[in-house]
Amino acid sequence: MNLFDVYPIFNIEPVKAKGSWLWDKDGVKYLDFYGGHAVISIGHSHPHYIKKMEEQLEKIAFYSNSVKISQQEELAQKLGEISGYPDYRLFLCNSGAEANENALKLASFHNGRKRIIAFEKSFHGRTSLAVAATHDKTIQAPVNGGNDIVFIPLNDEQAFKTAIDTNTCAVIIEGIQGVAGIEVPSPGFLQLIRQECHNTGAIMVLDEVQSGYGRTGKFFAHHFASVKPDIITIAKGMGNGFPVAGLLISPLFKAKHGLLGTTFGGNYLACAAGIAVLDVIKNENLMDNALKQGSYIAQKLKGMEGVKEIRGTGLMLGIELHFNSAQLRNELVGSEHIFTGSAANKNTIRLLPPLNVSQAEADVFLHGFEKVLSRHTKVVSA
């Protein structure tokens, strides 16, 4: 059997990884400034992560959600504490799309409404409703149509005020738009959404799948705006590579047996991964490091010729160039052995390194990037 060929791939086969580095099967070393789509939060193969996972695997790896799994409670307790949401409840699932799917479903169960407000350039995943709330027609099948979803421009206060009313079920917004190319909602815009949701009975869903887990220097990107959403969705950095996701659910919602469910969500290994990640983020002050290294990298990038704009906070950065970035990204991997991410905005490169990246590693990136960039700016200006 062959693989169903849906991914454009680099012809590289990593066989080993440690911290911010990967090695391919020929022993070539790569700097990971992408974390495999923002997933690697505490660095590859962190010793505490390995220990926690191994210990759990030795004991019990899986049973369904029909028994008590105290690791889920430990994860919820630690997550409540570090995120500043001790009074919210946690529902565990397996992917970002599933988290958003459940968030919108929960909103609709709660207020009985159907209309969803989402934002232009958004990405919320590929399951039915999550993809319908994603502003990319090319990944929506006809079967994903028929939902009542309104897309409005990010940060357009007037358009938002016109769109929201007492028929609105939920407003779903990314803490920082990732796939779009790092587009940041203003604090004032998030505060307006909070206020209008409160006034109309709509549910505010904050998708922190990519922007959460300390990546921006705060645990959640929306903390910069001091708003409290009704539901927060999480995935990616949560398991440092082990599939785990979840919803933080405000006290507004009443739990009922059977309301939500999953076979794999919250299994022992997923919880061990989730607990290990939170331990390391806390014990190694990774949010401070994200802020510090992110500011350092952004500052250095701003002075480079060919760079149009740097967007984002902490270690969630978008570098917008004056030209299409695809070739430059390929050269970064091919000649400098540095992984970065693409974006829907073709001129933008996404940086999503591990949260414990060091300044020396940041310098390796900056040096390699400047070298490749200078070749391109010469070509562009010639």
Exposure b/e, 178-194, CB count within 10 A at least 16 = b: bbbbbbbbeeebbebbb
Residue choice 30, 33, 123, 268 for contact with ligand PLP (CB under 6 A) = 123
**Per the structure block, which two tokens stand in for 104?**
């919108």
What are the tokens at 232? 């927060």
Q: Could you give the CA distance from residue 280 to residue 79 in angstroms, rounded to a whole number?
A: 12
- Looking at 59-67, 90-98, 112-120, 294-302, which segment touches ligand PLP (CB under 6 A)? 90-98
Q: Which is nearer to ligand PLP, 135 or 376 (CB)?
A: 135
Helix segments in the chain, DSSP class H = 35-38, 47-59, 70-83, 96-111, 128-132, 157-163, 187-200, 268-283, 286-302, 326-334, 359-381
CB closer to ligand PLP, 306 vs 312: 312
Given 71, 72, 95, 313, the residue binding ligand PLP (CB under 6 A): 95
Q: How far is CA 361 from CA 117, 144, 240, 358, in A?
A: 40, 43, 19, 5
Pairing status of strand 89-93 against strand 245-249: antiparallel
Indicate whether 178 belongs to the interface with ligand PLP (CB under 6 A): yes
Residue with tokens 């950095």: 237
- From the list 42, 76, 97, 373, which residue makes contact with ligand PLP (rule: CB under 6 A)? 97
From residue 197 to residue 236, what is the string marking binding to ligand PLP with x (rule CB under 6 A)?
A: ----------x-xx------------------------x-
Task: Report the residue closest to ligand PLP, judged by CB.
Answer: 96
**Cβ nearer to ligand PLP, comparing 307 with 349:** 349
User: Buried (b) or exposed (e) across 224-243, using 16+ Cβ within 10 A?
Assistant: bbebebbbbbbbbbbbbbbb
Residue 247 beta carbon to ligand PLP: minimum distance, rounded to whole angstroms: 12
Q: Cβ of residue 375: shortest distance to ligand PLP, in angstroms? A: 30
* Nearest CA among 370, 349, 342, 363 for reference residue 297: 363
Applying the rule CB under 6 A, the residues between 3 and 42 that interact with ligand PLP are 37
Rule CB under 6 A: say whether 96 interacts with ligand PLP: yes
Q: Which of 22, 69, 152, 179 binds ligand PLP (CB under 6 A)?
A: 179
Q: How far is the CB of 122 from ligand PLP (least distance, A)?
A: 8
Interface ranges with ligand PLP (CB under 6 A): 37, 95-97, 100, 123-125, 174, 178-179, 207, 209-210, 235
